[in-house]
Structure 1
Amino acid sequence: MEIILTVLASILFSTGIYNLLQKQLLRIIVGTVLISHGAHLFLLTMSQVKRGAPPLLVDDVSSYTDPLPQALILTAIVISFGVTSFLLVLAYRTYTLNKTDNMEEMRGSDYD
């Protein structure tokens, strides 16, 4: 199970980096979202996924699942949602002011 999650996280990282290197602003935002989801999967994989074990330690239970990584990932998901919404609003504002989402056109010319 961990191998599948690691491969999926690496695919998300690689497609996210590919999208970060594009010229369109919306693709850059999608790249940051993919990288954050890859980081969430990577954190979940490193916490050793256990199935069927209760999250709390009781007297008759010998093994349990640590709830801390799941809580940290849930917090990271909420933070990445806030950052994504901020980036989308920022991209919309940039598009309304500049009438383009191409980073090369927004950079301007230094040779004038």
Structure 2
Amino acid sequence: MELLVSSGIGLIVACGIYLLLRGRTFPVILGLTLLSHAVNLVLFSMGRLNVGLPPIISKDAVGYTDPLPQALVLTAIVIAFGMTALAVVLALRGYLETGEDGVNNATADQQDPS
């Protein structure tokens, strides 16, 4: 099972990196989103999901679930949502300002001043 989960996470990371290297802004945003999902899966799988166990230590419980990975994933989801919203707004603003979605590879010296 660990091999399947780690292979799936590796596939998601590979797809995210591939999309990050594209020349358009929308695939870059999707790549960032996939990478954030992969990080969430890594954090969540580090905590060993225990079903039916309480997250707080009590005297009558047999065991407990580590609440730290769950809290980290919840925080990461909120941060990833804010990051994605900012990236979408910046991409939309860049598209509306320039009229194109591509990445310009020219340096400031080589650009036409008009």
TM-score, structure 2 length as denominator? 0.87
Name the structure 2 match of 1:91.
Answer: 91
Identity %: 40
Q: Superposed, which structure 2 residues align to 1:1-112 within 5 Å?
A: 1-103=1-103, 106-108=104-106, 110=110
Question: 2:46 touches 2:69 (CA, 8 Å); kept in 1?
Answer: no
Q: What CA RMSD, in Å, does the superposition of the two structures yield over aligned residues? A: 1.7
1:108 Cα deviation after fit: 3.2
Unaligned runs of 5+ in 2: none
Greater helix proportion: 1
Q: Deviations over 1:45-67 (max 9, x none)?
A: 11222222111111121311011
Higher RCO (C-alpha 8 Å, min separation 6): 1
Secondary structure (helix, strand or coil) at the match of 1:90 reads helix
Q: Deviations over 1:6-43 (max 9, x none)?
A: 22211110100000111111101110110010000011
Distance 2:8 2:42 in 1: 9
Q: Which moved more, 1:37-46 or 1:47-56?
A: 47-56
TM-score, structure 1 length as denominator? 0.89
Q: Which moved more, 1:89-98 or 1:5-14?
A: 5-14
Distance 1:5 1:54 in 2: 24
Query: Aligned pairs, how many?
Result: 110
Question: 2:17 touches 2:35 (CA, 8 Å); kept in 1?
Answer: yes
Runs of at least 4 residues off by over 4 Å: none
Question: 1:16 touches 1:32 (CA, 8 Å); kept in 2?
Answer: yes
